[in-house]
Every structure is written in C-alpha cells, then in structure tokens.
Structure 1
C-alpha cells in the first residue's frame, strides 16, 4: 500500500488523525487570512499616514487662514476706529462751517447796514456841502464881488433831453447883463456830471 492510500485510509478509519488533519488545514487558512489582513492593515496604515500628512498640511493652511482672518479682523477694528474718528471730525467740521456761515451772514448784514448808513451819511453830506457851497458862492459873487447875480433856475424838461425822460431840472445861473452862466455844485464830480450840465445848457 502506497503513502497516498495509507493517508486516505487513516482519514477514513482514524478519527483522531482526521481531526488533526482538519485542524492543520484550518490553521493554514487562518495563517493565510492573517497574512492577508496584515497586508490590508499595512495598506490602511499607509493610507492613514498619507491622510495624516494631508491633514497636517490642511491644519497648517487652516492655521495660516486663521491668522489672516485675525489680522483682517484687527484691520477692520482699526478701520472702524479710523472711520469713527473721521465721522467725528466731519461732525466737528460741519459745526465749524455752520458757525462760520452764521458769522458770515451776520457780518454781511452788518456790512449792509454799514453801507446803508454810509450811503445815507454821504447823501446828507453831499446835500449839506452843496447847499453850503452854493450859499458861499452866492455870498462871494453877489455880496463881495458884486459881479453876478445868482438865481435858482427850475424848469420842466418835457422832451427828456437831460435825463432821457421828462423831468424837473434844477440849476444855478450866474447872471450879469445879458450873460448867463450855468453853475452846478457837487461834492464829487465825474464826466457824467459835466455831460449833464452840458445837456442842461442845451
């Protein structure tokens, strides 16, 4: 009987031998499966290591982003403070501008009142000086020199030759025999006054 036949006979007849063979076969399978699991675990460990590296890189990136966000938040806080300061300055400037506008309005009103007063004083002064000068000339010519007679000539300019429209014209006239000289008295004179006197003479 060969080895093979003997082995098969033992498997058929010897239960203890049969269990021993079954045990050996099961152990080999277990060892094979353990090897496969070991390989799978090693692959998983490699993947975990790679993932750990990726996670580490992501952690660094997240930390960098957090620092950037923190820096941006600080900048936002500083900008907010600067904007608030500028707003306060704008409010102060607006108040100052409003106060200046009120001062300018007040000064403008004061200047208008002053100009009106000066104009009124000027008109009174002009009337006063013209009247005083007229009386002085009249006294000089009539009483002292006795050369001319001074008359006040008032007439209605119907054609509007003097002022461009019909109006009453008043002027002083120095009279001597047939000679008549028109005289005008002004505190201040200009070319228009000369032209006016010329038109009166027409």
Structure 2
C-alpha cells in the first residue's frame, strides 16, 4: 500500500494535488510546479541562445576568412599597380628623353643649333626647352596625346611670361612630341601653329 501510494504521488498530478490539499500544501505545490516550468523554459531559451551564439561565431569566422582573402587580393592588386606605375614612369622618362633628342636633331636639320633640355622652375616644369638668338622652343612630350596637351602647354607658356620672361624669346615655337598623336591634337595644332612630331618625322610642320 505504501509503495502504491508513493507511486501515485510521483505519477498522478491530480492525486498529488488532492493529497497536498488534504495536507494544506496544494498552493505550495502549484507554485513549485510553476517554478519548475519556468526553469525548464529558461533552459530551453538558454539552449537557443547557445545555438544562436554558435551560429554567430561561425558567421564571424567566415567573415574573417573572407576578409583575409580580400586583403590578399588588395595586396596583390597593390603590387600590380606599383608595377604598372613603374612601367609608366619608365615610359614617360623614355619618351621625354627621346623627344629631346629628336627635337634637337630636327632643329639642327632646320639650321638651328641649340641644346634641348627640360626646364624645371619652382612653379612650372617643361619637358622640352631650348633657346638660341631670338628663337626659343617650348614643348611637352607624351606617349599618347590629345588636344588637351596644347591647353597645358599654353598655360605653362603664360606662367613663363609672368614669372620668367627672360626664358622666352621674340620667336616662340611651341612643340608637342607624341608617340601616338590623336586626330584632335593634329587638327588643333594645324590651326594654332603648334609643331607636332614623333620619332619617324613631323606630323604637323613647324612654323619658323
């Protein structure tokens, strides 16, 4: 009998409440059951939080791995950009040196002996410069040139007139040396009397 009574207390909720009510403990049991249910829900919520936290850590790990790959790509891109910049710098230096040699040679063919060199002043730099007697040559060198180079050249000439007029002469020959002169440059140079040439010869004849 005792064993059956204990089993009923353990397994039968209504019987347990009936006995508790008889003993005056029914309210206490109800509260304890409610607390137990709350604790169970808390544990369920805690488990969900742990699961969400695990997912977040997985996502953070994936983001860090992706960030690492992106940094590797950025470093590789920087290396390529630096290589391109060095190549462009070398090409620019090469074309400027080539321009000075070709311009000096062509001027000599036209009967003008003058040393062509870069002109470097605090506020202006010119790729091609030379002067003799009443003639001076001022110009720019480019690998590929459009008509905008004439705007740049005109601005530099105006600066020279203001800050170093002694560098200029009564006869001013503007020149653009371009390995690849674009059509708009050629058309404008013909209109404005700008000498355009490349290694193989004149593109627009000089007016001297």
TM-score normalized by the length of structure 2? 0.49
CA contact (8 A) 1:150 1:172 kept: no
**Residues 154 and 117 of structure 1: CA distance in aligned 2, closer, same or farther (over 3 Å):** closer
**Residues 113 and 140 of structure 1: CA distance in aligned 2, closer, same or farther (over 3 Å):** same
2:78 maps to: 112
Paired with 2:25 and 2:157, the residues of 1 have a C-alpha distance of: 100
Q: Which runs of 5+ in 1 are unaligned?
A: 1-51
Paired with 1:69 and 1:113, the residues of 2 have a C-alpha distance of: 65
**1:151 CA displacement:** 1.5
Q: Considering fraction of residues, name the structure with more helix.
A: 1
**1:154 CA displacement:** 7.7
Superposition map of 1:24-173 within 5 A: 55-56=21-22, 58-143=24-109, 146=110, 148-153=112-117, 162-163=121-122, 172-173=129-130
Q: Which runs of 5+ in 2 are unaligned?
A: 1-17, 167-208
1:17 maps to: none
RMSD: 3.9
- Rg bigger for which structure? 1
2:136 maps to: 181
Q: Which has the higher contact order (CA 8 A, sep 6+)?
A: 2
1:19 maps to: none
**1:163 CA displacement:** 2.9
CA contact (8 A) 1:173 1:181 kept: yes
Q: Considering fraction of residues, name the structure with more strand.
A: 2
Equivalenced residues, count: 138
